[in-house]
């Protein structure tokens, strides 16, 4: 255990020859050597400077997860709170519960959204060579990280949480699943664009791409900023899929009567896929917090 806490070369040293941080490492080794189910740490960084305190709690966290065991730590040092999964804040006799793990998951979900928002820059005839080159790497990154984030969110759902936190955990799990479906749809959209029939005007297909690109950027900004105005804007842009489809069909079909049946089918499928992506973005907007949406009105039972 001394090897694991980095003190193998100090095994024969007396305590007086150890620094404060090294003494705390000995305490960690002593606590973990019997692989306990729980460790109770009372102000473990109280006598340490900032760097030593940080090293001690990160080491404790790493080793406890490797065993594994739970750590119950009492501290006034707010600089180390980010290493905790669950935080109970006691102030003026009131307890407030939170999970730092939620912040990590939220940041990871935002990163996934920003990643797939780049996809559209590698689609279409006007795609930049650099984006086309990086597109496979972006897709690989998403496939590698999304399952990890989803599993972490699912683990929180399985825990005993208060109502507010349980709802937030379920929302993060749904967000992860929606991002997965959105990413699959966008990859399919890129494939459809690449298979554009020669007789279909490039401008028609590019109009879909430009609209999707704008919506993806708006969604990525809404997730990153998490501001009511940004979320409300995304909700407004994605609120009515039926009107979106009507507008698209009127624009591409009614005004282009010279299209062949195959070309019409292509544009029809592209429009339907675009509408499905709009639906995923609308779902995503509804999962963000805070969401600036008026509560639904109570139905008038006299008309039922």
pLDDT in tens, 245-287: 566 656 655 555 566 777 778 878 888 898 899 999 999 998 8
Q: Where in the chain is the domain with CATH 1.20.58?
A: 101-287
Q: How many alpha carbons fall within 13 Å on the CB side of residue 91?
A: 6
Residue 92 has pLDDT above 80, yes or no: yes
**Other Cβ atoms within 10 Å of 276 Cβ, number:** 16
Q: Looking at residue 249, what is its pLDDT?
A: 59
Average pLDDT over residues 203-232: 88
**CATH class (in words) of the domain with range 101-287:** mainly alpha
Residue 298 has pLDDT above 60, yes or no: no
Where does residue 92 fall: left (phi above 0), alpha (psi -120 to 50 degrees), or beta otherwise? left
Over the stretch 32-86, which tens digit does the pLDDT of each residue have? 888 889 989 888 888 778 887 888 888 888 888 888 888 899 988 877 777 887 8
Instruction: Report the range of poorest mean pLDDT among 23-27, 72-76, 119-123, 240-244.
Output: 240-244
Q: Looking at residue 99, what is its pLDDT?
A: 76
Over the stretch 163-173, which tens digit does the pLDDT of each residue have? 878 888 899 99
| Placement of tokens 């019997």 in the chain | 34
Q: Where in the chain is the domain with CATH 3.40.50.300?
A: 8-84
Residue 302 has pLDDT above 70, yes or no: no
Closest by CA position to 184, among listed 139, 130, 137, 238: 139
Strand 94-99 and strand 86-91: pairing?
antiparallel
- Residue 40's H or E segment, with its range, is strand 38-42
Residue 113 has pLDDT above 50, yes or no: yes
Instruction: Report the range of poorest mean pLDDT among 16-30, 60-74, 286-300.
Output: 286-300
Between 225 and 101, where is the model more confident? 225
Over the stretch 128-155, which tens digit does the pLDDT of each residue have? 899 999 999 999 999 999 999 999 899 8
Average pLDDT over residues 83-103: 81
* pTM to 2 decimal places: 0.67
Strand 86-91 and strand 70-74: pairing?
unpaired
Q: Looking at residue 142, what is its pLDDT?
A: 96
Q: Say if domain 8-84 classifies as CATH 3.40.50.300.
A: yes
């Amino acid at each position: 255990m001394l090897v694991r806490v980095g003190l193998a070369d100090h095994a024969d040293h007396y305590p007086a020859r150890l620094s404060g941080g090294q003494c705390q490492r000995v305490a960690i080794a002593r606590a973990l050597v019997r692989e306990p189910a729980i460790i109770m740490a009372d102000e473990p960084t109280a006598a340490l400077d900032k760097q030593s305190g940080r090293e001690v709690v990160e080491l404790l966290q790493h080793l406890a997860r490797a065993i594994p065991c739970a750590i119950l730590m009492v501290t006034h040092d707010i600089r180390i709170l980010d290493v905790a999964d669950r935080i109970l804040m006691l102030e003026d006799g009131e307890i407030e519960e939170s999970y730092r793990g939620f912040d990590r998951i939220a940041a990871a979900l935002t990163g996934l959204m920003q990643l797939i928002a780049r996809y559209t820059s590698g689609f279409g005839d006007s795609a930049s060579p650099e984006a086309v080159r990086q597109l496979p790497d972006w897709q690989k990154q998403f496939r590698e990280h999304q399952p990890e984030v989803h599993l972490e969110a699912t683990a929180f759902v399985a825990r005993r949480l208060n109502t507010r936190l349980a709802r937030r955990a379920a929302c993060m799990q749904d967000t992860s699943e929606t991002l997965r479906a959105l990413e699959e749809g966008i990859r399919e959209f890129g494939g459809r664009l690449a298979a554009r029939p020669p007789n279909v005007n490039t401008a028609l297909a590019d109009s879909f791409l430009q609209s999707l690109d704008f919506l993806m950027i708006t969604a990525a900004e809404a997730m990153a900023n998490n501001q009511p105005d940004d979320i409300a804007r995304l909700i407004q842009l994605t609120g009515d899929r039926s009107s979106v489809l009507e507008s698209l069909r009127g624009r591409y079909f009614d005004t282009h009567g010279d299209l062949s049946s195959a070309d019409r089918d292509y544009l029809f499928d592209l429009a339907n896929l675009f509408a499905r992506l709009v639906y995923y973005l609308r779902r995503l907007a509804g999962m963000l917090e805070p969401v600036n949406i008026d509560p639904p009105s109570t139905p008038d039972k006299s008309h039922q």
